[in-house]
Amino acid sequence: MFPRIIQGGMGVGVSNWRLAQAVSRLGELGVVSGTALDQLLIRRLADGDLGGAMRRGLEAFPFPRIAREIWNDYFVAGGKPADAPYPATPMHQLKEPRKLVELCMAANFVEVFLAREGHSNPVGINFLEKVQAVHLPSIYGAMLAGVGYVLMGAGIPLHIPGVLDAFAAHQPAQYKLSVTGAPAEADTWMRFDPADYAEGPLPVLERPRFLAIVSSNTLASTMLKRANGRVDGLVIEGAVAGGHNAPPRGKLQLSAEGEPVYGERDAVGMEAMRLLGVPFWLAGGYGTPEKFQEALEQGATGIQVGTPFAFTEESGLRADYKRAVLEQVRDGGAHIFTDPLASPTGFPFKVVQLASTSSDPEVYGDRKRLCNLGFLREAYLTAQGGVAYRCAAEPVESYVAKGGKIEDTVGRKCLCNALLANVGYSQLNPDHSIEPALLTAGDEINSIARFFPEDGTTYTSARVIATIEGS
Ligand SMILES: Cc1cc2nc3c(=O)[nH]c(=O)nc-3n(C[C@H](O)[C@H](O)[C@H](O)COP(=O)(O)O)c2cc1C
């Protein structure tokens, strides 16, 4: 049995355990975002773990010493003072400090554990292939919590299925970090052996299903032909979807407004999809009863939906941002700009135009560049043969000093800090500035008005599902 509606993973922390649990309880697939969960966990603990969910999750973690140390290191009873920054960790890299690996594993466990509480339906986790350094401990932590699906896009995750197979048997696994300039034979493997962390007998694990998120027929068939293990299905995501988008094929052309122009070559052929013989879900503007029916008629198993869920009562978005966007939608005026530059990944990124966030040129201009989270850093080979890291949104001088091209820094935004700010965990910087937010949503944002009740703008994920299914 496969779900008909997948609530798409939305990072950072927009599709948190609360949203995924609400969706999975209703029998569809709730998916937590696996991105930056280590940072979310420590910031929730620094805020005093309101409601006690993090404590519950950590208490269930099968490696109690690790859980206890994380609690002792980061929990602040009553919450940190408002004028104190959130705690920091080293940034992720090829050779990770042991404590960071443990934190990553536990944080992924906690999010999935909580999403699974109180029901027995499957829950999924979403990762971005490009955020590589965290893959192994994150996946293992999620599997310890019994994750039912792993979904991955933003890259070509050919070597993830094999990792799932190995971890299901508690065997060691490895994943090669992409390092710009490194020869193919260079040893840039990241390795993780569950036995190095186990504190007692290990639970029996099931191998989660693996769904690759792709945007073209070529990528779909490449995944099925070349992956190092079973690919259980595909999510086909079009360019109107919220979050990052695949760039248009061929030479990048921009519209008069400065957005990437997509054309016929970017359309995905449904006949070819059906012939691949695996279940597939369509994503990108499919969250309506009409588009849902259309997807089923095309032979899809169902749809993956993001934007309608991002603005539900259960999502992790900061309440005032959610309210402001819902008011724009009510007035018919929410506006999305597909920014070809904002994301350091180089992929187009959809940005909600909202005052007081970095979509406002003044707010963006006022932010002093810094890089202290580093999830989107590019690993590169140094002249001395070592591996170092750079991000096109870091201070321009340091990026250029690391061999980055100055033109690649133009218009780049620090998504790591902004996405944590979106869900209420803005960092307070040493110069007392507060990290601004930058919201993302799909092009069809104004159509979420259909979920509004007669007398307001707030709605639940149950309402989204019932409306789409026409029940
Ligand atoms: C706020 C937001 C954050 C997102 N973050 C991610 C992400 O971290 N990883 C991912 O694979 N997709 C991400 N997406 C894409 C969704 O999972 C989903 O595929 C997409 O939203 C579907 O299109 P729709 O927005 O038109 O419904 C995000 C979408 C939104 C709206």
CB of 243 shorter than 6 A to ligand 1? yes
Amino acid at 324: A
d(C-alpha 158, C-alpha 135), whole Å: 13
Residue 243 CA, ligand 1 centroid: distance in Å: 5
Residue whose pair of structure tokens reads 């029940």 in the numeric block: 471
What is the radius of gyration, based on Cα positions, of the chain?
21
Q: Which atom of ligand 1 is nearest to the CA of 308?
A: 27
User: Could you give the CA distance from residue 297 to residue 381 in angstroms, rounded to a whole number?
Assistant: 49
The answer, yes or no, to whether any atom of ligand 1 lies below 6 A from the CB of 238, is no
Ligand 1 center from residue 81 Cα (angstroms): 33
Which segments within 83-193 are labelled E, that is strand? 123-128, 149-153, 173-176, 179-180, 189-192
What is d(CA 212, CA 360) in angstroms, rounded to the nearest whole number? Answer: 34
User: Token digits for 44?
Assistant: 């929730």
Quickly list H helices, 17-159. Answer: 17-25, 37-46, 53-60, 64-74, 98-116, 135-144
**15 alpha carbon – ligand 1 mean position (Å):** 9
Q: Ligand 1: which atom is nearest the Cα of residue 31?
A: 17
Cα(346)–Cα(342) distance, rounded to whole angstroms? 8
Q: Which atom of ligand 1 is nearest to the CA of 12?
A: 8
Distances (CA, A) of 409 to 251, 376, 412: 20, 14, 6
Question: Residue length, the chain?
Answer: 471
For ligand 1, what atom is nearest to the CA of residue 422? 1
d(CA 53, CA 137): 21
Q: Is the CB of 343 under 6 A from ligand 1?
A: no
3-state secondary structure of 287: coil
For atom 30 of ligand 1, the residue with the nearest CA is: 242
- Residue 17 CB partners (closer than 8 Å, separation 6+): 32, 53, 110, 111, 112, 113, 114, 115
- Residue by residue, pLDDT tens for the chain (471 residues) are 899 999 999 999 999 999 999 999 999 999 999 999 999 999 999 999 999 999 999 999 999 999 999 999 999 999 999 999 999 999 999 999 999 999 999 999 999 999 999 999 999 999 999 999 999 999 999 999 999 999 999 889 999 999 999 999 999 999 999 999 999 999 999 999 999 999 999 999 999 999 999 999 999 999 999 999 999 999 999 999 999 999 999 999 999 999 999 999 999 999 999 999 999 999 999 999 999 999 999 999 999 999 999 999 999 999 999 999 999 999 989 999 999 999 999 999 999 999 999 999 999 999 999 999 999 999 999 999 999 999 999 999 999 999 999 999 999 999 999 999 999 999 999 999 999 999 999 999 999 999 999 999 999 999 999 999 997
